[in-house]
Amino acid sequence: MASIVKGKEAKSIKSLLDIQSEVKVINRIALSVDCVIFGFDENKLKVLLIRSDLKKFQGKWSLLGDLVDPKEELDSAANRILKQRTGLDDVYLEQVRTFGCLERHPAGRVVTVAYYSLINIQHHKLKILDNELHWHDVNDIAELAFDHKRILDSSYEQLQRRVQEHPLAFSLLPKKFSMRELQNVYESILDTKMDRRNFRKKFFAMDFLVDIGQMEQDVPHRPGKLYHFNYSKYEKKKKKWVGIDF
Amino acid sequence: MASIVKGKEAKSIKSLLDIQSEVKVINRIALSVDCVIFGFDENKLKVLLIRSDLKKFQGKWSLLGDLVDPKEELDSAANRILKQRTGLDDVYLEQVRTFGCLERHPAGRVVTVAYYSLINIQHHKLKILDNELHWHDVNDIAELAFDHKRILDSSYEQLQRRVQEHPLAFSLLPKKFSMRELQNVYESILDTKMDRRNFRKKFFAMDFLVDIGQMEQDVPHRPGKLYHFNYSKYEKKKKKWVGIDF
DNA sequence: GCAAAAGTGTTGGAAATACACCCATGT
DNA sequence: ACATGGGTGTATTTCCAACACTTTTGC
């Protein structure tokens, strides 16, 4: 292994300069951030992809990513990528995990930190000017450039876990939404069907939905009530979770 | 932002060489791995710490970490650190998340990938030769070098979540263990008290524990039966989880 | 015989599930 | 009038929490 390792083995107390030179010597790893941007439209969970800008992967789709600047926070890099591509900030954005396989990038050692984000496609629609950028059905993606399929799968799994314990779904919806739309989000993300009555009962019992006294417009059937999610009430009531379940 | 960003904005198709030179230019971030090694002893959850080898933090305890070699996988780096410090491999080891604050390391920009590991202190006891290495009660740690307290907190939270859905606890115990020991592990990790009868009922109902027909020895009270965990049976029965709960 | 922990069942309440009918709107 | 989804209540089952006494061993 690298000489640094042996240096530490010797357990000498090191000066800052010692460490700084170590960092320079070993500094042959590049760091990037890749964003998995989920959206919801036409009752389907979507992910935003772009054509790879690398010849080797020409024609393949890839996640939105960029190298991290040495003076840039990781979270800032993820937010920057999101902002550049969608014009949005102040959205839900969460680190997934880091992918560092030796062979994941053809240009050399590039370790990437994956983030996922949830955005409301309605708010974002006008801002995409890039026609190499498209929404794809999450369940209709067979292959991506690099190891991006693995990153997507991992992010999707994390989304599925988190959405069951945190009110993420609302980030995918407009401020006002119907119960049907809400249920569609859950059914799409979890890839399951739920009983409509039990679903409503559950959410009404949680008591975080506010009936805003408006109805759906222009639907070809009886219009439903519109609600919004009361985040501040939720923040106060967050619950603990103790149990063993596997 | 960095010129790389503008380059990508222009959406030109890039050659491998273009990217390679970008990687070199921007290559001013060092990557490390820090391991949070949990153990269990004297009915307490412990974490393995070492004295910082950096003058600035002299006297402070820190996690076990090292820079990642450009030719080394992240998981391998974590395993290497574990092996070097404890002599153990083939143990449960999992990535937590990546910490990349600009100011987290005095030597410059060092982004670190945190891993946690669970080891059985009994197996490991003989192999520590380094007297600057000690087990500390997890709940008795006020301050650590670098941002290692945050990394520890984050890892501990992840451990608490995972232990409730996966059979991690058995990695902290000897192959043969009593129900009391098992319950102690859960109570320590989750920092809670559980009803003994309900605890047993739950585990016996899962049907992954095998009564090996032996009893505890040398205990100053009625000895309990010893069990082991049937991993292969567990692997077959893993369950899915669908619900909304927040 | 005393201290200490092992071993064991039942019951009540809460939560999740399954399930069917009438209502309001657009066409 | 009919098609579409909105809106509602109840019965059943399942899971979890609470709870106390007898047994075995070491000292």
Q: In this structure, are A224 and A120 located in the same domain? A: no
Q: Of the residues A139, A163, A187, which one is the last residue of a structural domain?
A: A163
- pLDDT tens digits for A137-183? 999 999 999 999 999 999 999 999 999 999 999 999 999 999 999 99
Mean pLDDT, chain A, integer: 86
Q: Give domain status of residue B151, yes or no.
A: yes
Position A238 scores a pLDDT of: 72
Q: In this structure, are A149 and A229 located in the same domain? A: no
Position B23 scores a pLDDT of: 55
Bases on strand D under 7 Å from any protein CB: 3-10, 16-20, 23-27
Tell me whether residues A113 and B130 touch, CB distance under 8 A. no
Average pLDDT (A81-108) is 92
Nearest to B166 among A12, A22, A246 (CB): A246
Position B15 scores a pLDDT of: 61
Q: Give domain status of residue A73, yes or no.
A: yes
Percent of residues, chain B, with pLDDT higher than 70: 83
Helix (H) or strand (E) holding A153: helix A148-163
Q: Give domain status of residue B30, yes or no.
A: yes
Position A10 scores a pLDDT of: 43
In chain A, how many domains are there?
2
Q: In this structure, are B202 and B112 located in the same domain? A: no
Q: In this structure, are A110 and A227 located in the same domain? A: no
Position B90 scores a pLDDT of: 84
In Å, how far is A218's CA from the nearest CA of chain B? 30
Q: In this structure, are A40 and A150 located in the same domain? A: yes
Q: Give domain status of residue A186, yes or no.
A: yes
> Which nucleotide's C1' atom has the smallest distance to the CA of B218?
D26
B189, pLDDT greater than 80: yes
Q: Report the distance from CA of residue A219 to the C1' of nucleotide C26 in Å, as an integer.
A: 8
Contact criterion met (CB below 8 Å) for B39 and B172: yes
3-state secondary structure at position B228: strand
CB pairs under 8 A between A and B: 194
Q: Give domain status of residue A56, yes or no.
A: yes
Tell me whether residues B20 and A97 touch, CB distance under 8 A. no
Domain that holds residue B59: 25-163
Q: In this structure, are B101 and B208 located in the same domain? A: no
Percent of residues, chain B, with pLDDT higher than 90: 68
B:223-242 Cβ neighbours of strand D under 7 Å: 223
Q: Give domain status of residue A31, yes or no.
A: yes
Lowest model confidence (mean pLDDT) among A23-37, B173-187, B213-227:
A23-37
Q: Report the distance from CA of residue B218 to the C1' of nucleotide C10 in Å, as an integer.
A: 34
DSSP B41: E
Find the radius of gyration of the CA atoms of chain B.
22
Least Cα distance to B56 among A16, A9, A24 occurs for A16
Q: Report the distance from CA of residue B195 to the C1' of nucleotide D19 in Å, as an integer.
A: 10
Position A88 scores a pLDDT of: 86
Percent of residues, chain A, with pLDDT higher than 90: 68
Lowest model confidence (mean pLDDT) among A19-28, A75-84, B146-155:
A19-28
Average pLDDT (B51-65) is 86
Q: In this structure, are A184 and A96 located in the same domain? A: no
Q: Of the residues A135, A163, A191, which one is the last residue of a structural domain?
A: A163
Q: In this structure, are B73 and B126 located in the same domain? A: yes
Lowest model confidence (mean pLDDT) among A104-113, A117-126, A165-174:
A117-126
The CATH number covering residue B203 comes to 1.10.10.10
Q: How far apart are CA B204 and CA B225, in angstroms?
A: 13
Those residues with Cβ within 8 angstroms of residue A44's Cβ, 6 or more apart along the chain or in another chain: A137, A138, A139, A188
Q: What are phi and psi of A20, to 5 degrees?
A: -60, -40
Q: Of the residues A107, A135, A163, which one is the last residue of a structural domain?
A: A163
Average pLDDT (B96-120) is 94
Give me the residue label for tokens 């067979």.
A142
Q: Amino acid identity, residue B237? A: K
- pLDDT tens digits for A180-224? 999 999 999 999 999 999 999 999 999 999 999 999 999 999 999
Of the pLDDT bands very low, low, confident and very high (cuts 50, 70, 90), residue A239 is low
